[in-house]
Chain A
Amino acid sequence: MITLTNIRKTYAARGGGDPVHALADIDLSIGRGEVFGIIGRSGAGKSTLLRTVNLLESPTAGSVKVDGVEMTALSAAELRKARHSIGMIFQHFNLLSSRTVFDNVALPLELAGMAKAEIGRTVEPLLDLVGLADKRDRYPAELSGGQKQRVGIARALASKPKVLLSDEATSALDPETTTQILHLLADINRRLGLTIVLITHEIAVIKEICHKVAVMENGRVIEQGPVFDIFAHPKHPTTRSFVDPVINRGIPDSLRDRLSHQPGPGSNPVLRITFTGAKATTPVISAISRRLDLDLNIWHGQIDEIQGAPFGTLVVEALGDPARVDAAIALVKENNLGVEVLGHALPANH
């Protein structure tokens, strides 16, 4: 649906310094009907990247294809027409204070030259969809933040777009309202098959509704893939720093203190077993103790759900013959679960 190839955006520095690379070497492919999240800290370039999709920011180099159309090759008039099929919602809603809810939603249709009667027929069902039919004649100043964003969403959907761009749409909202708005977006994605590209600095937003995610830093995409994979196996340190707080892959500090890289006298290996997807229910712990006669002392465990699939980690200390520990690792791998040796636990009275 959306293909970004080799996108680069460079600003000439004021006063003749080195040019600023806002975006560099960006390749993204977003499928039809996907909810694609772009996460990064402020200044990472995610907002600029999102704006290259509808060419509010034109890239210095690279290709932007939306629904098969090369956006960078369009004339000004063609671009305006193409933008009718790309809706956009904003962190600060950007509603016209001088227009009622109805008239705000009607604006893109007025701009496209739709007849008044038809505008009414299009806007009313949208107000129902976002649950604001009773606020039809209210002004934005009379609405709560969540309601304003609902108006923003209805307005973005008015021209029946194929793509919805979301620029930190929930960042100005409280957690409860954020969840409601995200559910609305997920619902719209399912019901209308709308492709959604959203940027956020909150990993919870990605976890809640995205299918795929790209992590940005310093104008580059440092990691991208299905949300489940990125959460289960984050590779880049920045990705880990985003993911760790929500899925808690770490171990408690009190246990970390007992952990050493080298085996010591009387130490036991500590393993982290990762359960992903359907295998998260494999009874591997009891299989190990039964078949290998190895006691596993559970240090820490967590089962989470990402995009409807269970994801769990279990940190265990293996008590017993070191030779059997290798067999245990082999057995875990046989079951297609992830396993790594975190270190060696020194005896507690050490």
Chain B
Amino acid sequence: MLSPQIIDLLIKGLLDTLHMVAVSGAIGTLIGLPIGVLLAVTGRGELLQNFAFNKAMGAVVNMTRSTPFIILVVAIIPFTRLIAGTSIGTNAAIVPLTVAAAPFIARVVENAVREVDRGLVEAAQAMGATPFQIIRKVLLPEALPGIVAGLTLSAVSLVGYSAMVGAVGGGGLGDLGIRYGYQRFLPDVMLAVVIVLIVLVQIVQSTGDLIARRVNKRNLKS
């Protein structure tokens, strides 16, 4: 069986992972959500059509998304140091995680908002709604089930990404698995890390699905 020290490390690793995923997910959502909405409403034929903004913002989002995460972590070390004051440790790891999460969330939010029936926007315009009112009262509530599903997907991805930030001393379960399970060749530690990660992802996914179902009023039985 696992020694008490290893169990302590597992608990600490889990808490670190949760900490990194929660903080980067939250900040990523704060940044990604408005960007996603803006991307959706500035597209061709949309509410606030604006090609220049849409293209520029789309390019920035794609740039971050096309960089492999492990390279992104190393590449933005100066930026990480500027924000976190250090480039090592769990708090430092939150910076690259957030930088990766925000554009990912922006895209899933954009997709969810685009899914909203164009007729609803037209109906709101016919009622004399301002663009801001349409976003707040129509697009966001109607896209909510899709947004929740997208955020769940993002959270699961972040759990995966968080395993890589061990490269900059980020801590967490992934780091534990690499250092103890792989480098010290402790297969039982590796197995324990994998099981905890599987359970964690399952819980995140199930919770996300549950919330998405709750907020989805589209398929109610009469």
Contact = CB atoms under 8 A, between A and B. Distances in A.
Given A80-B128, A96-B142, A142-B222, A88 B123 contact: yes
A80 B130 contact: yes
Given A97-B217, A142-B222, A83 B120 contact: no
Nearest to A79: B128
24 contacts: A54-B126, A80-B130, A83-B126, A84-B128, A86-B126, A87-B126, A90-B119, A90-B122, A92-B119, A94-B117, A94-B119, A94-B120, A96-B138, A96-B141, A97-B142, A97-B217, A97-B218, A98-B144, A99-B141, A99-B217, A107-B137, A111-B124, A142-B220, A165-B126
Nearest to A104: B123
Given A97-B217, A97-B218, A141-B220, A111 B137 contact: yes
A268 interface: no
A143 interface: yes
Q: How large is the interface on A (under 10, 10 to 19, 20 to 34, 35 or more residues)?
A: 20 to 34
Contacts of A84: 127-128
Tell me which of A82, A84, A90, A159 has the highest count of chain B C-beta atoms within 10 A of its own C-beta: A90
A20 to B, nearest CB: 16
Interface of A: 54, 56, 79-84, 86-88, 90, 92, 94, 96-99, 107-108, 110-112, 139-143, 159, 165
B62 interface: no
A108 B126 CA distance: 9
Given A94-B117, A98-B217, A56 B128 contact: no
Interface in B142-171: 142, 144
Contacts of A94: 117, 119-120, 122-123
A56 B126 contact: yes
Contacts of B138: 96
A54 B125 CA distance: 10
Q: How large is the interface on B (under 10, 10 to 19, 20 to 34, 35 or more residues)?
A: 20 to 34
B115 to A, nearest CB: 11
A87 B127 CA distance: 7
B217 A139 contact: yes
Contacts of B219: 141
Contacts of B123: 88, 90, 94
B207 interface: no
A98 B117 contact: no
User: Closest 9 interchain pairs by CB?
Assistant: A83-B128, A94-B123, A80-B128, A88-B126, A94-B119, A108-B127, A142-B222, A98-B141, A139-B217
Interface string B167-195: 00000000000000000000000000000
B168 to A, nearest CB: 42
Contacts of A82: 128
Interface string B59-101: 0000000000000000000000000000000000000000000
Nearest to A143: B222
A90 to B, nearest CB: 6
A83 B133 CA distance: 15
B18 interface: no
A56 B215 contact: no
B129 interface: yes
Given A96-B120, A99-B141, 10 more contacts: A56-B125, A81-B128, A83-B127, A84-B128, A88-B127, A90-B119, A94-B119, A96-B138, A110-B137, A141-B220
B127 A159 contact: yes
A10 to B, nearest CB: 18
A99 B215 CA distance: 10
Contacts of A80: 128-130
A46 to B, nearest CB: 16
Contacts of B125: 56, 83
